[in-house]
Amino acid sequence: MMRDSAPQISRHPTRSEIIELAAEEGHDADIPTNVGSIRSVRSRSASFPRGKLPDSEKQSSIGFDKDIEKGTRAESLSSREHDEDVPEEPSDPNVVWWDSDTDPENPMNWSFKKKWGTVLLVSAITFLTPLASSMFAPGVPEVMKTFHSTNEMLEGFMVSVYVLGFAFGPLIIAPLSEMYGRLPLYHSCNCFFVIFSIAAAVASNMGMFVTFRFFMGCFGGAPLVLGGGTIADLISREQRGTAMVVWMMGPTIGPCVGPIVGGFLTQAKGWRWNFWLVAIVAGAFTIMSMILMNETSAPIILERKAKRLRKETGNPKLVSKLDSGLTPKELFLFSIVRPTKMLTRSLICFLMSLYVAITYAYLYILFTTFTVVFETQYGWRRGIVGLSFLGLGIGSLIGQSVFTHFGNKTAEKHLARGDFKPEHRLYIMCAGGFFLPIGLFWYGWAVQAQTHYMVPIVGTGFIGFGLLMTFMPANTYLVDVFTVHAASAMAANTVLRSLAAAFIPLSSQKMYAAMGYGWGNSLLGFVALLLIPIPFLFIKYGERVRKLSTVKL
């Protein structure tokens, strides 16, 4: 007997709820999330076979006909007022949905232990991959000796090439997860990450080593792309904040903790053991995920259910409520093309991404030079040189805490007044922007003068604080401006900042050699000063820019 497949939810989700969930899952809100889409693609999907929508229907469902930057309604992630429910469609017997509000196939109905076990496992994997990005940084001189290289550009690139993988990997992983689900991507990317970690550990020349590091970054980006969506699949909105904080700890402190571990490990066992350790831990997480994790993506689960019911009932018209009606090729192209269009056609997306890209590149300039700086200027041994990254880590943690508290407080104040607009996100960025150049001047001249080592480390704390106080508000602003297409804006931001972090640090050693640590870091500080007006300008003119915008996808 065919199961009752009519929707059985108490109310239809609001537009803001759909947008919020889509952003957390890492895709645009016109692609169905586990509560639906902002566009009525499902009813058209029931009438046309998958991938056979007329061109006019595809255009309407995907949103090519609308300007994406007007900002005419408060539909951002933080907006809770004046929300209209998405129009509820008539019940259709050919639409497959959850059997009931307690359907065990729905990941939201899993047991507490199963839900939070998955969240903790995903958070652990998300901590490991950013940690691996910088873990072997203290061992860079040893790698150069092993491969008999004196190329200063390669010395920096072998660290930052990992982030280059972050630029390209997510562009492929995100659309694939929409096609095939999160679980196959977790398993395959984890396996390839382990394989390329082992390959880096046994590399016999510099070309092999750099190539393997790049592929480690490509596949290591999977939990960063999929983790937010997994949490959104499992945890209700009321409890999601705690889970997201746990998950975000990895990208925030992982790159700063890595060199501390790597410094002592390199001294004790050699640089190759940084990769062996990563491979061993990643291998253990991979086995655990294969045993304990299940698919959490509602569109994929319902598509499998619809396929099973079509076979059982012989009814070829059965279709998932969350079916987008798009072929895998179309989904893939939208995910690749949209971020490029937004980066090149939107002034807001380009300038905010440029600000983030330059500040993110500074982080990797420090990653690639700290070892040399503290060994040559302060005579630190290879084991303890990783401790020089503590200032960055502590500053980043403080910055994240301050942003979370005061950023949310500012937004809530304006929401209560009913006058919230995306530019209110930038007030805290205006203040935070000054800490980055202050920290760069402080660190550079303290190292140049060879003051007590704590003085430059405190300076790097200011840099870490400034990085988070610009990085986090900029990302939130992009989400609030682009709402429905927030994921594409974030993808554009990720690509530009990863490219900058991969290539800008390549010239850092030559810059310091020519200008010294004082003037070299002062040059970076002056560039950071030139970026400070960007949030001020958008606070004043951002709304006008959005109203005059002609950005269409």
Q: What is the CATH number of the domain that holds 547?
A: 1.20.1250.20
Q: Which two tokens stand for residue 15?
A: 């537009």
Give the whole-angstrom CA distance, residue 490 versus residue 543. 20
Residue 215 has pLDDT above 70, yes or no: yes
Residues 380 and 262 in one domain: no
Residues 182 and 117 in one domain: yes
The mean per-residue pLDDT over the stretch 88-100 comes to: 73
Give the whole-angstrom CA distance, residue 398 versus residue 111. 34
Residues for the chain: how many in total?
A: 553
Give the whole-angstrom CA distance, residue 414 versus residue 384. 47
> What pLDDT sits at residue 166?
85
Burial of 141 (0-12, 13-18, 19+ CB in 10 A): middle
Query: CB atoms < 10 A from the CB of 329, how many?
Result: 11
Q: Kindly state the greatest CA–CA separation across the chain.
A: 81
Is 350:344 a contact under the CB 8 Å cutoff? yes
Burial of 398 (0-12, 13-18, 19+ CB in 10 A): middle
Residues 470 and 502 in one domain: yes
Is 136:262 a contact under the CB 8 Å cutoff? yes
Residue 118 has pLDDT above 60, yes or no: yes
Average pLDDT, the chain: 82
Give the whole-angstrom CA distance, residue 495 versus residue 321. 32
Residues 248 and 348 in one domain: no
How many Cα atoms within 13 Å fall on the side-chain side of residue 398?
16
* Range with the poorest average pLDDT among 108-112, 169-173, 443-447, 448-452: 169-173
Residue 292 has pLDDT above 70, yes or no: yes
Give the whole-angstrom CA distance, residue 409 versus residue 397. 18
Residue 489 has pLDDT above 90, yes or no: no
Q: Which domain-ending residue is among 270, 302, 326?
A: 326
**82 within some domain:** no
Residues 238 and 154 in one domain: yes
Give the whole-angstrom CA distance, residue 475 versus residue 76. 13
Q: Which domain-ending residue is among 304, 326, 348?
A: 326
Terminal C-alpha separation, the chain: 44
Q: Which domain holds residue 224?
A: 1-67+88-326
Give the whole-angstrom CA distance, residue 345 versus residue 358. 20
Task: Give the residue ranges of DSSP H helices in 202-271.
Answer: 206-220, 222-234, 237-269
> What pLDDT sits at residue 359?
92
Residues 51 and 191 in one domain: yes
> What pLDDT sits at residue 56?
44
**370 within some domain:** yes
Residues 119 and 143 in one domain: yes
- 274-313 core/surface letters (b: 16 or more CB in 10 A; e: else): bbbbbbebbbebbeebeeebebbbbbbbbbebbeebbeee
**420 within some domain:** yes
Residues 362 and 415 in one domain: yes
Domain count, the chain: 2
> What pLDDT sits at residue 125?
92
> What pLDDT sits at residue 551?
65
What is the per-residue pLDDT across 335-385, written as a single tens digit (0 to 9) for each? 778 888 888 888 899 999 999 999 999 998 998 888 889 988 998 887 788
pLDDT band at 68, cuts 50/70/90? low
Residue 545 has pLDDT above 70, yes or no: yes
Give the whole-angstrom CA distance, residue 241 versus residue 33. 19
**501 within some domain:** yes
Residues 315 and 344 in one domain: no
**76 within some domain:** no
Instruction: Determine the residue type at 336.
Output: I
Residues 122 and 180 in one domain: yes
Residues 188 and 144 in one domain: yes
> What pLDDT sits at residue 47?
44
Is 159:505 a contact under the CB 8 Å cutoff? yes
> What pLDDT sits at residue 89?
52
pTM across the whole model = 0.82
What is the per-residue pLDDT across 122-179, written as a single tens digit (0 to 9) for each? 999 999 988 898 888 888 889 999 998 888 888 888 888 998 898 888 788 888 887 8
The mean per-residue pLDDT over the stretch 85-96 comes to: 64
Which phi and psi (to 5°) does residue 103 adopt?
-55, 120
**209 within some domain:** yes
Q: Which domain-ending residue is among 264, 297, 326?
A: 326
**56 within some domain:** yes
Residue whose C-alpha is closest to residue 377's, from 453, 441, 440, 439: 453
Which phi and psi (to 5°) does residue 14 adopt?
-80, 165
pLDDT band at 11, cuts 50/70/90? low
Residue whose C-alpha is closest to residue 412's, from 121, 41, 81: 81
Counting DSSP H helices and E strands in the chain, the numbers are 22, 2
Give the H or E element holding residue 399. Answer: helix 390-402
**394 within some domain:** yes
pLDDT band at 3, cuts 50/70/90? very low
Residues 212 and 360 in one domain: no
pLDDT band at 275, cuts 50/70/90? very high
* Range with the poorest average pLDDT among 23-27, 46-50, 179-183, 195-199: 46-50
